[in-house]
């Protein structure tokens, strides 16, 4: 049982490049989330989804887009990467009552 | 504005002693609180939770206490073990205002032998 899998785990981008982070979960959870973690900032919610075909903005959505075409996948896109988007990105799915299962994280560096 | 605050960035405790991690919140609408634990290079993992209708929840060595009047919760680990060394995040949610968990900045716990 893989749980929540994020790809890629590491990526270096140049300013202005685009990329997509993929999150896959095999627990049949409805709710999925993308967070970013920055030093001294804790975890901040970027976007979330409460089911296939639905997405919503979180606390820090600017510069990101998401899609949930299939229940098991939640994609996070950066259309034009900026150095401020250098961060560790965590995807999570929820079993219920706030119990989130997180992936191992994707470390993104934007030069 | 940070609605969940963990004012101690780090804590060091001797093995076998009690670890107490504190968390304060400002939003009186929060009605569910959780603690997550995170090891380096891994994602956070759920540890324990408490509903606002309770003031204590216990799970093995871990106990969470909630003081609603003070808008304060704490996580007690007894006895502390070296494997408990990790970053602990406090999180809170309001069932009336969406699904997002609000996380604190975390407290790094070091348990020394």
Residue A91: band (very low, low, confident or very high) from pLDDT cuts 50, 70, 90: very high
Residue whose entry in the numeric block shows the structure tokens 């929820």 = A94
pLDDT at A1: 59
Question: Which residue from B43, B49, B106 is facing A104, i.e. has the nearest CB?
Answer: B43
Per-residue pLDDT of chain B in tens (113 residues, 90 and over written 9) = 789 999 999 999 999 999 999 999 999 999 999 999 999 999 999 999 999 999 999 999 999 999 999 999 999 999 999 999 999 999 999 887 667 899 999 999 999 99
**In whole angstroms, what is the distance from residue A93 CA to residue A96 CA?**
9
Q: What are phi and psi of B83, to 5 degrees?
A: -70, -10
**Residues of chain B in Cβ contact (below 8 Å) with chain A:** 4, 6, 9, 32, 34, 36, 41-46, 49, 89, 91, 93, 98-101, 103-106
DSSP class per residue in B23-79: EEE--TT--EEEEEEE-TTS--EEEEEEETT-SEEEETTEEEEEETTTTEEEEEESS
Pairwise CB contact (< 8 Å): A42 & B105: yes
Determine, for residues B99 and A100 on separate chains, whether the beta-carbon distance falls below 8 Å.
Answer: no
Residue found under tokens 């999180």: B91
Q: Is the pLDDT of residue A97 over 90?
A: no
């Amino acid at each position: 049982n893989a749980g929540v899998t994020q790809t890629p785990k590491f990526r270096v981008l140049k300013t202005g490049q685009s990329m997509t982070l993929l999150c896959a979960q095999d627990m049949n959870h409805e709710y999925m989330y993308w967070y970013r973690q920055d030093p001294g900032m804790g975890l901040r919610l970027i976007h979330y989804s409460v089911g296939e075909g639905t997405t919503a903005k979180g606390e820090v959505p600017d510069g990101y887009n998401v899609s949930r075409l299939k229940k098991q996948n939640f994609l996070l896109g950066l259309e034009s990467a900026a150095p401020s988007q250098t961060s560790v990105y965590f995807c999570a799915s929820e079993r219920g009552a706030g119990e989130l299962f997180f992936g191992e994280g994707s470390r993104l560096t934007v030069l | 504005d940070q609605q969940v605050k963990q004012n101690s960035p780090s804590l060091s405790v001797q093995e076998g002693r009690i670890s107490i991690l504190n968390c304060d919140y400002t939003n009186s609408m929060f009605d569910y609180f959780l603690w997550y634990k995170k090891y380096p290079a891994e994602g956070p993992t759920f540890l324990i939770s408490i509903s606002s209708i309770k003031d204590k929840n216990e799970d093995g060595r871990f106990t969470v206490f909630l003081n609603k009047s003070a808008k304060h919760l704490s996580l007690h680990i007894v006895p502390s073990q070296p494997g408990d060394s990790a970053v602990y995040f406090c999180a809170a949610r309001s069932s009336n205002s969406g699904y997002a968990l609000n996380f604190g900045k975390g407290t790094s716990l070091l348990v020394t032998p």
